[in-house]
Amino acid sequence: MIEVTNLNKVYDNGFEALKSVSFNIDKGDLVCLLGPSGCGKSTILNMIAGLLQPTNGDIAFDGKSIVHTEPKDRNIGFVFQNYSLYPHMTVLQNVMFPLSVGNHKVDKKVALATAEKYMKLTKISDIRDKRPGQLSGGQQQRVAITRALVQNPQVLLLDEPLSNLDARLRLSIREEIRRLVKEVGITTIFVTHDQEEALSISDKIILLNDGVVQQDDDPQKLYLEP
């Protein structure tokens, strides 16, 4: 479904953050990009989302190259590390937002029904009238994921989605994320530097180091240094 081929990124200061990165992701899989800070995980996500242009190489969805399309013309759900919720909006308004602007704009009634459907799935219906500032980290996380899902994206991108949560929540939320993406059936890329996290939730792990793919395999087959 997603084909990344010889992806290369040289930043303006001359630093080569990615060196010919290639991998494939099957439809419906939950794949982890795993590696230490600075190995290039965010660079890859940002290029898939269209927030950053590759220096060389290609990204294709279902056989069609997307690298020259605008972010708004890609149907991608992005959950940022800090959630990036709109602080002045309620939970419901946050979740409905992608359906009220741009290419995914739909009739208000349809937007409300869609938002309600996904809020039920992520179990946030009861906090719909609260604002982000009144929510716990775990609740904010659920809102951010719900907002990313309402436009029925081709791919869900999660950038270190558990890093701002406390240890207890991290365990339960990662199980929830796995259950949710499998229930929705959405192809998901999950970025983390945490081996255990990657091993526990992914169908496949792409291990990166210094801008190079070191391994790309099932969690059971992956060799990880102790």
Residues that bind ligand ADP (CB under 6 A): 11, 13, 15, 17, 35, 37-43
Of 45 and 124, CB closest to ligand ADP:
45
Minimum distance from CB of 157 to ligand ADP (Å)? 12
DSSP strand pairing (16-25 vs 2-10): antiparallel
Minimum distance from CB of 15 to ligand ADP (Å)? 4
Give the residue among 194, 141, 193 at the shortest CA–CA distance from 169.
141
Minimum distance from CB of 51 to ligand ADP (Å)? 9
Minimum distance from CB of 223 to ligand ADP (Å)? 20
The single-letter code of the amino acid at 69 is: T
Of 35 and 54, CB closest to ligand ADP:
35
Of 46 and 114, CB closest to ligand ADP:
46
Of 150 and 189, CB closest to ligand ADP:
189
C-beta atoms surrounding 193 within 10 Å = 17
Give me the phi and psi of 173, to 5 degrees please: -70, -35
Give the residue among 149, 50, 161 at the shortest CA–CA distance from 98.
149
Asked if 81 and 160 touch (Cβ cutoff 8 Å), the reply is yes
